[in-house]
């Protein structure tokens, strides 16, 4: 997308400059950068909207869902029916609130802590693909990157808790620290299983490996992956500090935990980060286990629209539908998290650590072993019922017989990069055989 | 056009490098242990940014996961320790400054000398402007090198040249087993000690 916008802008500049001077090249040389800057700004704005506007929607959903679960209506008045402007009204109230910094606080860290969590949550979304090729930054190891960045989010509660200069906040921070060490181990183990099944850490590759009928989703691959999804989801809830794992907050014990001393907009940044990372872990679950942007029935994939057989615009339409699929799946995940929050009571800290370390870790390790063994012995799986992607096609693999290796790697799928490499005018490292063999080309990265 | 005149790669390299160095100085001059840990986190994150800029995404993510995540433990200990008055304002004595400056200066000298011995940095590169950042797929290369397939050196066919291409799997496993031993040892040392030979009455 950056390339396209850049070319568009360059053409515009030259057209404009041609009105004034003889040689527009003198004013605007061939390699303009402004298009890339604009593309980056657009992507950042879109992702910021996912976090900020997403939080508006999720908080409204949280109110309505909690209301229904507790046999009441939730907001009904603000903004006409359903109270759908309730969060906006809350936001206005928060902006107007007095911004307090306690006297004992470490003012610098106190101010900074909410933005740290927000930045971590935002950076996780940066590498999360929303559809086939629709990703802010296509990282080769995007899954690992997202896990690493989401791990940084705990700095926010810990620093906030320390810097507040309040014992409630400090208790919350220490609880958060104890919780982090417990859920990260089983979560990592769960996430590795789809990586092993697919053979890549690129989320685009993992998502595309599950194309076709819903039987191709990794959750249906074998009984082990089915079970390991639930462990992943448990750890994901723990990782975003939601009840029953919301010990750092624990409003009935610690006033409000790590954000006791916060008010106004800074307080709301914690919540934007929380809802942003809820969306991120649910989206991760959707890509790893539920086929990502592929719907249950392959309408666009089966007809070849998503492969670009009918041109660029229909392919983008298919991608937009894929984006809708992905967001729907992620929102369902967020809804389940809310359902869990308003149904289960909070665990004690020792119960949290017991759940994560004593039960989830051995379970995840055993299930991981089982899934890997089934994969190794080529055990028949449901994924083989209607395979849409030939084995080896989506795999990030080096064909060793074709040594010497190329200067630049051929990429996870030859079809995935065949088009984009042409667009970028890179040296022709993809062999002709592979270009000819690629049945479908996927869109360049957004 | 001003934007086109800037070498953006150099710009972002300098940006991340300055961030890393600035926060490293912040670690030095700060006297509060939690702030020190925070500056360290920022410095290490900026280093991860340098890795991402160089296209080494796997190494960058590793940097975030291990170094930045590991500093979190430091931070927690910092929070737990600063309950004591002594640590809230840690003053470094003059002698330690001298020692630290000597050690740091020595390392800096070695680094600078070595850095300027890299031939590519001494000779002017005519095609520098056309330098395209290769699409890096570092994971595959690292993974293949683990099991002894050096994709960056595919030309070594014969057995003598392949002798140095045995892979990193064995050293990696040795290190991991060593780590396991350390973990078990720590758990053994930290366990609740029960006195066996206590007198009965």
Q: What's the pLDDT tens digit per position in B189-198?
A: 887 776 666 6
**Residues B82 and B100 occupy one common structural domain:** no
- Of B8 and B65, more confident: B65
**Residues B171 and B112 occupy one common structural domain:** no
Residue reference for tokens 């086109």: B4
Closest CA to A426 of A1, A3, A135: A3
Residue A35: the pLDDT is: 66
Instruction: Write phi, then psi, for A131 (nearest 5 degrees).
Output: -160, -175
Per cent of chain A over pLDDT 70 is: 77
Question: Cβ contacts (< 8 Å) between A28 and chain B: which residues?
Answer: 1, 4
Question: Cβ contacts (< 8 Å) between B79 and chain A: which residues?
Answer: 158, 161-162, 170, 173-174, 177
pLDDT band at A426 (very low <50, low <70, confident <90, very high): very low
Residue B18: the pLDDT is: 94
Residue B55: the pLDDT is: 75
Of A112, A140, A407, which has the smallest distance from its Cβ to B58's Cβ?
A140
Is pLDDT at A89 greater than 70 in this prediction? Answer: yes
B124: in domain? no
Of B58, B76, B155, which has the smallest distance from its Cβ to A141's Cβ?
B58
**Would you call A33 and B4 a contact, using CB atoms and an 8 Å cutoff?**
yes
Residue A409: the pLDDT is: 38
Is pLDDT at A420 greater than 60 in this prediction? Answer: no
**Would you call B8 and A33 a contact, using CB atoms and an 8 Å cutoff?**
yes
CA of residue B39 relative to chain centroid, distance = 15
Q: What is the mean pLDDT of residues A39-63?
A: 86
Is pLDDT at B110 greater than 90 in this prediction? Answer: yes
Which chain A residues in 177-236 lie under 8 Å from chain B, judged by CB atoms?
177, 180, 201
C-beta atoms surrounding A155 within 10 Å: 24
Nearest chain A residue (CA) to B132: A426
CB contact, 8 Å: A139 with chain B? Answer: yes
Is pLDDT at A18 greater than 80 in this prediction? Answer: no
**Residues B2 and B85 occupy one common structural domain:** yes
pLDDT band at B22 (very low <50, low <70, confident <90, very high): very high
Preceding amide of A244 cis, omega within 30: yes
Residue A213: the pLDDT is: 79
pLDDT band at A151 (very low <50, low <70, confident <90, very high): confident
Residue reference for tokens 């040689």: A23
**Residues B113 and B172 occupy one common structural domain:** no
Owning domain of residue B16: 1-89
Encoded tokens for A416 = 């995935």
Q: What is the mean pLDDT of residues B104-131?
A: 76
Q: What is the mean pLDDT of residues B159-166?
A: 57
In whole angstroms, what is the distance from residue A28 CA to residue A33 CA?
10
**Residues B114 and B152 occupy one common structural domain:** no
Nearest chain A residue (CA) to B73: A177
B62: in domain? yes
Q: Tell me if residue A370 falls in helix, strand or coil.
A: helix
**Residues B156 and B173 occupy one common structural domain:** yes
Taking each helix axis as running N to C, give the angle between helix A142-151 and helix A264-289, from 0 to 180 degrees, rounded to the nearest 10.
150
Contact A400, A188 (CB under 8 A): no
Q: What is the mean pLDDT of residues A417-439?
A: 45
In sequence order, what are the residues at sequence separation of 6 or more whose Cβ sits closer than 8 angstroms to the Cβ of residue A164? Answer: A102, A105, A110, A170, A258, A260, A261, A262
Residue B181: the pLDDT is: 92
**Residues B106 and B31 occupy one common structural domain:** no
Helix (H) or strand (E) holding B77: helix B69-81
B24: in domain? yes
What is the residue-averaged pLDDT of chain B?
A: 76
Residue A395: the pLDDT is: 43
Q: Tell me if residue B27 falls in helix, strand or coil.
A: helix
**Residues B107 and B73 occupy one common structural domain:** no
Is pLDDT at A425 greater than 70 in this prediction? Answer: no
DSSP, res A360: I
Asked if the interface predicted TM-score (ipTM) of this complex is over 0.95, the answer is: no
Report chain A's terminal Cα–Cα distance, integer Å. Answer: 5
Domain count, chain B: 3
CB contact, 8 Å: B4 with chain A? Answer: yes
pLDDT band at A198 (very low <50, low <70, confident <90, very high): confident
Contact A347, A244 (CB under 8 A): yes
3-state helix, strand and coil shares in percent for chain A, rounded to the nearest 5: 65, 0, 35
**Residues B142 and B106 occupy one common structural domain:** no
pLDDT band at A331 (very low <50, low <70, confident <90, very high): very high
Contact A361, A189 (CB under 8 A): yes
Which chain A residues in 74-113 lie under 8 Å from chain B, judged by CB atoms?
106, 108-109, 112
Contact A371, A228 (CB under 8 A): yes
Helix (H) or strand (E) holding B69: helix B69-81
**Residues B13 and B80 occupy one common structural domain:** yes
What is the residue-averaged pLDDT of chain A?
A: 77
CA distances (Å), origin A416, targets A118, A132, B165: 32, 10, 31
In sequence order, what are the residues at sequence separation of 6 or more whose Cβ sits closer than 8 angstroms to the Cβ of residue A286? Answer: A292, A326, A329, A330, A333
Q: Tell me if residue A131 falls in helix, strand or coil.
A: strand
pLDDT band at B23 (very low <50, low <70, confident <90, very high): very high
Quote the minimal CA–CA distance from B90 to chain A in Å. Answer: 16
Give the domain CATH number at B44: 1.20.120.1200
Helix (H) or strand (E) holding A312: helix A312-341
**Every domain of chain A and the residues it spans:** 2-32, 102-384, 400-437
**Residues B2 and B84 occupy one common structural domain:** yes
**Residues B6 and B74 occupy one common structural domain:** yes
Q: What is the mean pLDDT of residues A343-350?
A: 86
- Of B158 and B61, more confident: B61
Is pLDDT at A185 greater than 80 in this prediction? Answer: yes
């Amino acid at each position: 997308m950056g390339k396209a916008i850049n070319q568009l802008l360059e053409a515009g500049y030259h057209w404009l400059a041609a009105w004034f001077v003889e040689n527009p090249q003198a004013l605007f040389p061939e390699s303009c950068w402004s298009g890339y800057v604009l593309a980056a700004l657009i992507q950042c704005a879109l992702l910021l909207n996912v976090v900020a506007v997403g939080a508006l929607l999720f908080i409204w959903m949280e109110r309505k869902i909690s209301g229904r679960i507790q046999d009441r209506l939730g907001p009904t008045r603000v903004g006409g029916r359903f109270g759908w402007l309730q969060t906006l009204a809350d936001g206005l109230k928060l902006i107007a609130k007095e911004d307090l910094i306690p006297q004992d606080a470490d003012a610098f860290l106190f101010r900074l802590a909410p933005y740290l969590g927000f930045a971590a949550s935002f950076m996780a979304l940066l590498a999360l693909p929303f559809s086939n090729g629709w990703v802010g930054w296509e990282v080769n190891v995007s899954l690992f990157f997202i896990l690493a960045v989401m791990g940084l989010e705990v700095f926010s509660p810990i620093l906030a808790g320390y810097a507040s200069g309040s014992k409630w906040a400090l208790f919350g921070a220490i609880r958060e620290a104890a919780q982090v060490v417990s859920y990260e181990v089983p979560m990592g183990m769960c996430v590795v299983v789809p990586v092993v099944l697919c053979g890549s850490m690129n989320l685009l590759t993992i998502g595309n490996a599950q194309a076709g009928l819903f039987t191709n989703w990794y959750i249906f691959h074998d009984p082990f992956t089915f079970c390991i999804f639930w462990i992943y989801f448990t750890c994901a809830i723990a990782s975003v500090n939601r009840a029953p794992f919301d010990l750092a907050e624990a409003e009935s014990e610690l006033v409000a935990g790590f954000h006791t001393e916060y008010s106004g907009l800074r307080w709301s940044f914690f919540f934007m980060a929380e809802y942003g990372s809820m969306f991120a872990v649910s989206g991760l679950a959707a890509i790893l286990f539920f086929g990502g942007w592929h719907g249950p029935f392959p309408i666009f994939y089966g007809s070849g629209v998503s492969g670009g057989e009918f041109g660029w615009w229909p392919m983008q339409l298919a991608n937009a539908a894929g984006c809708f699929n992905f967001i729907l799946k992620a929102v369902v995940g967020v809804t389940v998290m809310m359902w869990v929050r308003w149904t289960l009571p909070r665990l004690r800290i020792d119960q949290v650590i017991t759940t994560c370390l004593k039960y989830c870790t051995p379970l995840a390790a055993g299930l991981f072993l089982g899934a890997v063994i089934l994969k190794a012995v080529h055990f028949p799986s449901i994924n083989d019922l209607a395979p849409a992607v030939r084995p080896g096609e989506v795999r990030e693999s080096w064909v060793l017989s074709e040594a010497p290796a190329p200067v630049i790697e051929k990429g996870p799928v030859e079809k995935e990069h065949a088009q984009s490499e042409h667009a970028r005018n890179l040296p022709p490292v993809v062999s002709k055989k592979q270009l000819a063999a690629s049945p479908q080309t996927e869109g360049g990265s957004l | 056009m001003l934007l086109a005149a800037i070498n953006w790669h150099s710009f972002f390299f300098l940006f991340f490098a300055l961030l890393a160095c600035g926060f490293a100085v912040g670690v030095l001059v700060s006297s509060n242990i939690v702030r020190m840990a925070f500056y360290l986190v920022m410095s290490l994150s900026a280093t991860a940014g340098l890795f991402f800029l160089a296209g080494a995404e796997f190494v960058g993510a590793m940097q975030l996961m291990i170094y930045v995540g590991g500093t979190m433990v430091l931070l927690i200990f910092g929070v737990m320790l600063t309950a004591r008055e002594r640590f809230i304002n840690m003053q470094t004595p003059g002698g330690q400054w001298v020692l630290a400056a000597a050690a740091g200066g020595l390392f800096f000298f070695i680094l600078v000398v070595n850095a300027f011995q890299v031939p590519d940095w001494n000779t002017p590169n005519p095609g520098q402007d056309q330098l395209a950042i290769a699409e890096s797929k570092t994971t595959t290369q690292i993974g293949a090198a683990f099991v002894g397939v050096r994709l960056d050196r595919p030309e070594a066919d014969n057995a003598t040249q392949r002798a140095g291409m045995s892979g990193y799997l064995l050293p990696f496993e040795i290190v991991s087993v060593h780590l396991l031993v350390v973990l078990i040892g720590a758990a053994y040392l930290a366990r609740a000690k029960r006195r066996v030979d206590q007198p009965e009455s």
